[in-house]
Amino acid sequence: MYRVSIVVLFLITFLRATASTHDQDTSSINPSIIAEEVRNEFMRSWTAYKKYAWGHDGLKPLSKSYYDWYSTSFFMTAVDALDTMILMGFEEEADSTRDYIAKHLSFDKDVYVKNFEFTIRLLGGLLSSFQLTNDQRLLALAKDLGDRLLPAFASPTGMPYVYVNLKTGAVRDSISNPAEIGTLLLEFGTLSMLTGDSKYYNIAKYALLQLYAARSEIDLVGERIDITTGKWTKTDSHISGAIDSYYEYLLKCRILFEDQDCGIMWETSLLAIDRYLADDTPTGRWYGRADMNTGKRTVTTFGALDAFFPAVLVLAGDIKSAVELEESCLKMWNAHGIEPEVFDYSTMKVVSPPYYLNPEIIESAYYLHRATRDDRFLKMGEIFFESLKQYCRTDEAFAELKSVITKEKSDRMESYFMAETLKYLYLLFAPPETLDFNAVIFNTEAHPIQRTW
Ligand code: DMJ
């Protein structure tokens, strides 16, 4: 009798303890209610964009007006948001937006544009929406844009110039970075697969190979490189903005195109990242900065953009490191109730205070939830969504923050907020059949690409 009670007592205590972190925390979460709320927030922001910024690149949510990147608009928010709208099931709105884009978007403009941003936002957006709708007009626009961007690669090294003129093919600005050189193959490669013309794949792949060839002896890349000479002008190495998605695309291009060169480049790079940038500290696992030639630690900073890496680690199959890093990201978020652009993980202090409505930490929670089915990532998603509503929500849309410390807002809502932040948040809570996670590769702007070839 005594023995039985001890066993029962032990069992009750054990069950309570194991329930404490997961079940109790998530007991209040109803995924379908949150998914619907995210969907409503998307439509609220989209309505504000239509009301104040229709036909322009983006919404200024405080002054209730618009901004364009250049002297003319390329409907950045509309193209970026279209596949989110489709996935959320806003059918009529998506049809009319698609029709508007097909009829009015023109790349025949005498304007210098950023090759990287036009590739990930517009080329990526057009390609994914084409795959979701089979509207040939979108593929024609994507091909036209791809053709107009190609002159950017006509440099002595094959790595692209930063800006290219869409009408004349003239180029400018030769100091670039790994992200802007190495985050192009997914889109250009897909364009090749969908049009049957291999030139897009080959040109973007050559640029990627040239960038990889410029790595240091210890297999790290720096932050700035002169694409006319291949010489590094800044040797700071990290996984943050200006480098980040170069690594992401090495792995994703291996998976999407079964490109073994990309696989080798990814494996080699990951070893160097693990050896020189990963940092296991009393505050958790982080990835800091080091000099690309010596591997010597420079600073212990991490930021909102770096939070894409758990998602990449999930794709690479390293769930353990992905979970550890996402837990660290959550600490960065919780320090001020929302994440800063840059954070020092040894002092746990903010280094650069803005929050630009970035998606990466949510993207990683989504990948981790798909990979583990662990409800703690839903709980994280709920925290992120609550903070967004508390600090960034305006009467009609959402606004960036000048500072996560003061929570002062700034007058901008970037197109990726509707392409990425709200999409990943929605997909995290929506039923898995909304999008088959294993059948797509997201480009770095969250545009899902299907391997239809
Ligand atoms: C997006 O434009 C892309 O995700 C890019 O790779 C870097 N980050 C922004 C959003 O934070």
Q: What is the per-residue pLDDT across 170-179, written as a single tens digit (0 to 9) for each?
A: 999 999 999 9
% of the chain residues with pLDDT over 70? 94
Catalytic residue, from 360, 363, 400, 420: name it. Answer: 360
Confidence of residue 6 (pLDDT cuts 50, 70, 90): very low
Q: Give residue 40's pLDDT.
A: 98
**Which atom of ligand 1 approaches the CA of 446 most closely?**
4
**Which atom of ligand 1 approaches the CA of 356 most closely?**
11
- CA nearest ligand 1 atom 1, residue: 445
Residue of 395, 450, 453 lying closest to 132 (CA atoms) = 450
Confidence of residue 16 (pLDDT cuts 50, 70, 90): very low
Contact 336, 349 (CB under 8 A): no
Annotated catalytic, 341?
yes
Confidence of residue 25 (pLDDT cuts 50, 70, 90): low
Q: Give residue 28's pLDDT.
A: 80
Find tokens 């210098």 and name the residue. Answer: 112
Confidence of residue 1 (pLDDT cuts 50, 70, 90): very low
3 state SS of 175: strand
Mean pLDDT of 288-299: 98
Show Cβ contacts of residue 47 under 8 Å, excluding neighbours closer than 6 positions. Answer: 396
pLDDT in tens, 31-64: 999 999 999 999 999 999 999 999 999 999 999 9
Q: Which residue has the higher pLDDT, 95 or 6?
A: 95
pLDDT in tens, 328-350: 999 999 999 999 999 999 999 99
Contact 76, 119 (CB under 8 A): no
**Position 26 pLDDT exceeds 80:** no
**Position 15 pLDDT exceeds 60:** no
**Position 123 pLDDT exceeds 50:** yes
- CA nearest ligand 1 atom 6, residue: 444
Catalytic residue, from 93, 236, 244, 445: name it. Answer: 244
**Position 149 pLDDT exceeds 60:** yes
**Position 2 pLDDT exceeds 60:** no
Mean pLDDT of 370-393: 98
**Position 419 pLDDT exceeds 90:** yes
**Position 84 pLDDT exceeds 90:** yes
CA of 400 to the centre of ligand 1 (A): 14
**Average model confidence (pLDDT) across the chain:** 95
Q: CB within 6 Å of ligand 1 — which residues?
A: 245, 305, 358-360, 416, 420, 444-445
Show Cβ contacts of residue 406 under 8 Å, excluding neighbours closer than 6 positions. Answer: 353
- Token pair, residue 442, equals 């997201």
